[in-house]
Amino acid sequence: MTLNRKSPFIIKNHVVGAWILTLRRTNMSGKPLLFLAAIAVLALAGLANAIAIPNPGFEGENTAWAMSDTGSDAGFSQVLADTLPAGAGAMVQVADPILVWSDEFDADGLPDASKWMYDVGGDGWGNNEEQFYTEARLENARVESGLRVENGVRVKSGVLIIEAHKEQWLANPVFQSYNDYTSARLVSKGSGDWLYGRIEVRAKLPAGRGTWPAIWMLPTGDAYGRWPRSGEIDIMEHVGYDMGQVHGSLHSLAHNWTTGTQPTGSTVLADVDTAFHDYAIEWSPGCMSFLIDGSEYFSATNPGTDWEEWPYDQPFYLILNLAVGGFWGGQQGIDPNIWPQRMEVDYVRVYDLGDSVMVNTDGDELPNATDPDDDNDGLTDAEEHGFGTNLLVTDTDGDGYSDFEEVEAGSNPLSSGSIPGDGKRLLVNADFLLGEDPWIIHTNKLNADGNWSGMAGSWGGAYAVSDYVSSPGGGDIIFSNYIEPEVPNAEHLLYQEWQTATLGLAPGDVIRFRGVASSTASTEGFVTEAFIRVLDRSFQMLPDSVGVAIGPETAAFELETTLEEGTINVVQAGVLIKGSTSQTATITFTGLEVTLNEETTLHVDDDSLSDPGPMTP
């Protein structure tokens, strides 16, 4: 018999003739408190009397301990010996962590709509995934009750089944694009958003090349901006070409997968696809611990710097999904003969470990977990999730009109350029007087041959635009190139972007981009351009993409593209500098405009247009 952690504490160490309990708890200032007690070995099996153990430094607090037959052997560097009187009982009896949210999946049919919503779509999800996530479709997400065999015992239990099928699915009827797989992605957003605690999911995983199940969390309100600025918590990830290797990770602006710097841990479970395991995190202001079946295999400590390294001080929601293929899951291809595949979830349980924060964004009588409209803007959380707006902010795009007002007027609540009564103008904050949003900077590293070799910084929009953009006055904006002598070349982009689905784009829509610009370079060989890029779900440019060279002389430019049918995911418009990272180059611009289906004719003389030149890949 060993002692098992049943609370935010750890119990360990079995010595001959006595039980040694090592107790540790970290208060809000992060100072560990350690003390020990020895309990005499039971004279008779099963005979135990409750005893009280003093808890120095936590006067008036109720601490929880229990003893069981299984447990973690996590240790500490220091043990302070003390003993209890002979004959003392073998169980310390106190309160367990408080269960604050759960789903036991005990009702047949679709998942509980009061606890789960769906992420819907097939645009690759930023990872070049192959599946289309459906909504409220039993083939992809359902609860089944009944009996199952676990460790040789028949257990009565219901399970959530997330199942991926190999089938052609019409992803975008407007553009006539298809996906070859379907699956589901459930989110607790709006009804299950937590700041600190223990999040625990008991699950059995799929098997086979091309499967990529995940149990993970994203920030509800993106307090620090788009991914990865506001963070990501991966409780469990598993890719089918590497069976049994289970991963847990954290992603932030400073440390994330695009640069291979994310804090991560992994462990091997030989039976991930045949047995259920408990995947959990214990999350406090100072630490994030990753556990499987109660045993910690990885942890990360708050460095005490800033949000760029530790953005985990805001509410996050839970995501359960099964992806197909993708940059990671599809590294070794997709086995076409294994489908359907499923992830089964026995339960989800969330506990308060003593420092959880009840989230109530709008300050009314209802906390977010039970409030159907967390920001009190007139749109329900479910409606906002469907529109893609921020559940915790009344005006997502910051244009002075609430999300409700924009939806009612038919303008786009995700674009500050689309306001009630004027939905044609797309590009906004062209003079940067309102700060950086919604401008994005993205940098592709290129090898000596000019081929892509990675991303600098991280995903588009991760680092500060102000690092590369300045305004000398007179309305001019200067965009400078990326400097890193260890990288031969780079493609450095400054742009705004629009999702085809959220903007309601359709084949035949005309997008125009115009402005006045010039460029400088300290050496020959730089490419400087204005562009409209039309990208598919793997972020490859489609034939609709167009570009125009920006030369050393100040000149007006104008680009136009008409959207065609196909797997269009996103449209971008902006400027780029491509060339050496050990030399300098700039683009100076003013008067930028991007319009949709503009009714006026082109107003720039043909003679003033720069030579378009070749489009860069």
Secondary element (H or E) of residue 182: strand 177-183
Burial classification of residue 18, based on how many CB atoms lie within 10 Å of its CB (0-12 exposed, 13-18 middle, 19 or more buried): middle
Helix (H) or strand (E) holding 406: helix 403-409
Q: Is 135 a catalytic residue?
A: no
CA nearest neighbour of 569 among 165, 167, 129: 129
Q: Which of 44, 39, 47 is nearest to 17 (CA)?
A: 39
- Tokens describing residue 501: 């689905």
Collapse the DSSP code of 461 into the 3-class scheme (helix H, G, I; strand E, B; otherwise coil) and give the result.
coil
Catalytically annotated residue among 129, 163, 200, 237: 237
Question: How long, in residues, is the chain?
Answer: 617
Beta bridge partners of 470: 478
| Catalytic (active site) residue 167 | no
Residue-wise DSSP of 137-163: -TTTEEEE-SEEEETTEEEE--EEEEE
The answer for 78, left when phi > 0, alpha when psi is -120 to 50, beta otherwise, is: beta
C-beta neighbour count of 297 within 10 angstroms: 17
Burial class (CB in 10 A: 0-12, 13-18, 19+), 481: buried
Instruction: Find out whether 515 and 590 touch, Cβ atoms under 8 Å.
Output: yes
Six-digit token pair at 86?
A: 């002979």
- Out of 129, 130, 163, 232, pick the active-site residue: 232
Positions annotated as catalytic residues are: 232, 237
